[in-house]
C-alpha cells in the first residue's frame, strides 16, 4: 500500500459486503454530518481525513473496496478523483468536473455564459490590481469585485471610484477560499433579491432527470448571510426561468446529487450567479 500521512487514518467500520459502503474524504463538520446521515440509512461508513497523493488514495480504496466515494471538495485535490471516477466498481461524488468547477468561479462563469449562453451580469476577470483598474476604466462604475473562489459575500467590494480599486483587490485576494490571485468584476445590475434554487439530479432507467426545491431567499449584510427563508416567492415567469437555468447548468455538470444554484432575480428576469 502506498505511503500516507499521519492524518490519513481511516475511521469507522470496515465495510461488510452485505451493506452499501461509503468512503468519505474530508474532515469538516459537513463530513461528520454526512457520515451520521449515511449510517442512519444503514450504510457502512469509513472516513479518511486526508491523504498524501492520488496513488495513496487509490491503494486505500483498493483495500477497502467502497461502493461510493464522497469527497469534501474544499479539502480534496480534484485531480485525485479523476482516476477514481473512471473505475467501474465504484461511484464518485461529486464528479471531478463538478468538484473542480465548484472551486473555480472563472471556469464556472465561462461555462454558464460562453458555453451554455445563460444570462449573467456583464463580467470581467483580473489577475492584478492593474488589470482590475483597466477593467474599471473600460466598464465604468459601479462594479462588484469578488474572489473567483469564495463563498457568497466573502472578500466582496463595490467599486464606486478609481481609488477603490487597490483596496478591493487586496480584500478579494485575501478573502477567497483559495489563494488564486484572480478576481471577477461584475457590472451592477438591478435585482430584487438573490435566491438559491436547490436542484436534484438523478439518473434512472429512463435517463437523467432534475427536480427542484422551493427557492430560498437570502438577506445579506457586509458579506455575511443574516437570514434565509423558504420559499422565496417568484413570479411564474421568473420561476420557470430559474428552473431552466438551474437544469441547464446542472445537466452540463452531470452526476447525481443536490446542487445549490445561486441566482439573481429582477421581476421576471433571472441571472445566473
The reply to whether 234 and 267 lie within a common domain is yes
Mean pLDDT of 18-45: 90
- 258: domain CATH number is 3.30.470.20
Domain count for the chain, please give it.
3
**For residue 224, what are the β-bridge partners?**
221
Is residue 51 domain-resident? yes
The reply to whether 43 and 94 lie within a common domain is yes
Is residue 133 domain-resident? yes
The reply to whether 137 and 222 lie within a common domain is no
Q: Look up the domain containing 27 and give its range.
A: 6-102
Alpha carbon distance 214, 242 (integer Å): 11
The reply to whether 12 and 39 lie within a common domain is yes
Is residue 113 domain-resident? no
List, for residues 105-133, the tens digit of each pLDDT value: 889 999 999 999 999 999 999 999 999 99
List, for residues 126-178, the tens digit of each pLDDT value: 999 999 999 999 999 999 999 887 766 788 899 999 999 999 999 998 865 55
For residue 49, the model assigns a pLDDT of 84
Of 102, 134, 154, the position where a domain reaches its end is: 102
Residues 6+ apart with CB under 8 A from 168: 132, 145, 157, 159, 183
Q: Which three cell numbers stand for residue 155?
A: 472578500
How many Å separate Cα 83 from the centre of its chain?
21
The reply to whether 234 and 152 lie within a common domain is no
- 170: domain CATH number is 3.30.1490.20
Of 102, 136, 169, the position where a domain reaches its end is: 102
- 34: domain CATH number is 3.40.50.20
The reply to whether 200 and 244 lie within a common domain is yes
Sign of CA dihedral 102, 26, 17, 258: negative
For residue 13, the model assigns a pLDDT of 46
Is residue 108 domain-resident? no
Is residue 112 domain-resident? no
For residue 85, the model assigns a pLDDT of 83
Report the candidate in 118, 265, 268 with the shortest Cα–Cα distance to residue 191.
265
Report the candidate in 29, 67, 26 with the shortest Cα–Cα distance to residue 48.
26
Is residue 248 domain-resident? yes
The reply to whether 183 and 205 lie within a common domain is no
C-beta neighbour count of 133 within 10 angstroms: 16
Q: Is the peptide bond before 260 cis (omega within 30 degrees of 0)?
A: no
For residue 15, the model assigns a pLDDT of 42
Grid look-up 484572480 returns 182
Is residue 109 domain-resident? no
Amino acid at each position: 500500500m502506498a505511503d500516507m500521512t499521519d492524518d490519513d487514518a481511516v475511521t469507522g467500520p470496515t465495510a461488510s459486503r452485505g451493506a452499501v459502503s461509503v468512503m468519505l474524504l474530508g474532515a469538516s463538520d459537513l463530513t461528520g454530518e454526512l457520515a451520521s446521515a449515511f449510517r442512519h440509512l444503514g450504510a457502512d461508513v469509513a472516513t479518511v481525513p486526508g491523504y498524501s497523493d492520488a496513488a495513496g488514495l487509490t491503494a486505500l480504496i483498493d483495500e477497502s473496496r467502497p461502493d461510493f466515494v464522497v469527497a469534501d471538495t474544499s479539502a480534496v485535490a480534484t485531480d485525485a478523483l479523476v482516476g477514481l471516477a473512471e473505475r467501474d466498481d465504484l461511484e464518485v461524488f461529486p464528479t471531478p468536473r463538478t468538484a473542480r468547477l465548484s472551486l473555480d468561479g472563472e471556469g464556472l462563469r465561462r461555462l454558464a455564459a460562453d458555453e451554455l449562453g445563460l444570462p449573467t451580469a456583464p463580467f470581467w476577470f483580473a489577475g492584478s490590481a492593474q488589470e482590475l483598474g483597466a477593467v474599471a476604466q473600460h466598464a465604468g462604475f459601479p462594479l462588484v469585485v469578488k474572489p473567483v473562489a469564495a463563498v457568497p459575500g466573502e472578500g466582496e467590494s463595490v467599486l464606486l471610484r478609481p481609488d477603490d480599486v487597490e483596496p478591493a483587490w487586496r480584500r478579494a485576494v485575501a478573502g477567497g477560499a483559495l489563494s488564486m490571485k484572480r478576481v471577477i468584476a461584475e457590472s451592477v445590475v438591478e435585482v430584487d433579491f438573490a435566491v438559491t434554487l436547490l436542484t436534484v439530479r438523478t439518473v434512472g432507467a429512463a435517463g437523467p432527470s432534475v427536480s427542484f426545491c422551493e427557492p430560498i431567499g437570502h438577506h445579506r449584510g457586509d458579506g455575511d448571510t443574516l437570514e434565509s427563508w423558504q420559499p422565496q416567492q417568484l413570479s411564474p415567469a421568473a420561476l420557470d426561468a430559474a428552473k431552466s437555468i438551474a437544469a441547464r447548468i446542472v445537466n452540463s455538470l452531470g452526476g447525481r446529487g443536490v446542487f445549490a444554484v445561486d441566482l439573481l432575480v429582477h421581476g421576471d428576469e433571472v441571472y445566473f450567479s
